[in-house]
Structure formats: structure tokens, C-alpha cells
Amino acid sequence: MTEVEKVIISPENLVYSKPSVLTDNVMHYCPGCSHGTIHKLIAEVIDEMGIQEETIGVTPVGCSVFAYNYIDVDWQEAAHGRAPALATAIKRLLPEKYVFSYQGDGDLAAIGTGEAIHACNRGENIVMVFVNNGIYGMTGGQMAPTTLPGMPSSTCPAGRDAGRDGHPIRITEIMAQLPGTSFVTRQAVHTAAAVRKTKKALKKAFENQTAGKGTSFIEVVSTCNSGWKMTPVKANEWMEEHMFAYYPLGDVKDL
């Protein structure tokens, strides 16, 4: 460390550090995985709102199944796809708590589509975080309902053929049509600007819970660089080029 650095690196000059709600555990995610960034943003929002003791999360099945090891709040582990159902129960029994579910696309957009849509339609006063990387990351990169046409995966190595495999599903647009949702948005975490926007959206979603506005649904378009067989930086570029064309970023509904 140089003399100049020694002067700069002191507590009064601190501008950015790990939020205290995030534990010191080393995350099991692959290098460059978007899950880590999204976990951090949720932790920052909980930290800033001072609701660590009042927050209950629901973990899904998928790579983020161990989210409870990283964000230091109370958690429940749901069966595959059933996080919104469990979050509904928790919020109804403990209405003063902040409840959020955290699910991937294999969990929310495939096996759990029914639970997710009905929770949004009932307007449960919860936050739903939906991490969409277009693939089943945990089980080896199989095709998911969200896989893009032409996008290769381990079960469609030549790319998804929409005629044979069907079309990718835009869950967020579906949720926006339901009367129970109050805030539906699609964000990403590949650049500093995108990270700031996602954090703002998460904060708004948690604040909506205080106001009792109904379901807040936040999709985060993400990468799975291991599943996509790319470097983390290349995966981010591929996502900007291809994923954003089919999954455009921005607020879909904001009441």
C-alpha cells in the first residue's frame, strides 16, 4: 500500500462497503453470479429501512436455496415453486412483518407458476423477487420456460426451437395484468446504474408493504455464466444483447 492510499483508506472516507445485514459467509454461487448482487441489494434495503428484525424471507428451490446463509433475517424454506403460498401464509398470520419471496425462473415460471399468479391475483401484501436467467442453473443448465428462442442449453444444444419447445414466457407482463399487483418492474444488475435502479425498485417494493398496496413483483434479468458457458463479463454482454430484447427493462406497472 502506498502512502497516498494509506491516507485515503480510513473510516471517515468510507463511501461503500458490505451491508451489515449480509453475513460474512462466502457465497456458494459461481464467480460473477447475479444472485450475490441481488442478495446484497436486498440486504442494503433492509439495512437502510431498519427492518432486519421484522423481515421474513422465503427461499425457493434452485441455486438460491441457501439464501438464508447470507441475508441475516428470519427465513422459511418452501417446497419447489411454493414460495408465494408460504409467503401468503406468513404475511396473513404476521401482518406486521415484512415478507418477501425470492425465486428463480425454474421455480417461479415453471413448477410454481400457479402459486405465483394466484398470489399476485389475490394481491397478497408481499414482495416477490424473481431472478430470471433463462435457464435451470442449479441442475445443469437445462432449458427453462424462459429460455430464449435459439438459445442453447444442455437439453436443447442446438438452441430452443419455438415450434417444437414453445415460446419463452414473459411472467412480468402477465403479473402486470392482474388486479392484485401494485408495482411490477423488470430490472438487471450488470452495471452500476442498473444496480442503483434495482435497489430503488426493491426499496419501493418494501415501502409498498408498509402502505399495504398489494403485491410488488420485481423481475431481475440475470446471467448464469456457468450454464451459458461464458465468462461472467461475456455473459453480461450477451444478456444486454439478447435477453433485454425479449425482456425489456423498466416499470411495467406502478400504481
Please, is 182 exposed, middle or buried when counting C-beta atoms within 10 Å of its C-beta (0-12, 13-18, 19+)?
buried
Applying the rule CB under 8 A, the residues between 157 and 216 that interact with another protein are 189-192, 195-196
Q: Which is nearer to another protein, 13 or 241 (CB)?
A: 13
Q: What is the 3-state secondary structure (H, E, C) of 79-99?
A: CCCCHHHHHHHHHHHCCCCEE
State the minimum distance, in angstroms, from the CB of residue 238 to another protein.
Answer: 13
Among 3, 20, 34, 216, binds another protein (CB under 8 A): 34
Among 89, 180, 232, 240, binds another protein (CB under 8 A): 232
Q: Does 15 bind another protein (CB under 8 A)?
A: yes
Other C-beta atoms lying within 10 Å of the C-beta of residue 24: 7
Alpha-carbon distance 97 to 71, whole Å? 16
State the minimum distance, in angstroms, from the CB of residue 50 to another protein.
Answer: 20
Distance set, CA 164 to CA 62, 160, 161, 168 (Å) = 26, 8, 5, 12
Q: Does 37 bind another protein (CB under 8 A)?
A: yes
Q: Does 9 bind another protein (CB under 8 A)?
A: yes
HSE-CB at 39 with a 13 A cutoff on CA atoms is 29
State the minimum distance, in angstroms, from the CB of residue 138 to another protein.
Answer: 16
Q: Which residues of 27-65 are buried (b: 16+ CB within 10 A; e: fewer)?
A: bebbebbbbbbbbbbbbbbbeeeebbeebbbbbbbbbbb
Q: Which is nearer to another protein, 182 or 198 (CB)?
A: 198
State the minimum distance, in angstroms, from the CB of residue 63 to another protein.
Answer: 12
State the minimum distance, in angstroms, from the CB of residue 5 to another protein.
Answer: 5
> Which residues are paired to 88 by β-bridges?
none
- Is residue 21 classed as helix, strand or coil in its secondary structure? coil
Q: Does 137 bind another protein (CB under 8 A)?
A: no
Q: Which is nearer to another protein, 31 or 150 (CB)?
A: 31
Q: Which is nearer to another protein, 13 or 157 (CB)?
A: 13
Residues that bind another protein (CB under 8 A): 2, 4-5, 7-10, 13-19, 22, 26-27, 29-37, 40, 189-192, 195-196, 231-233, 236
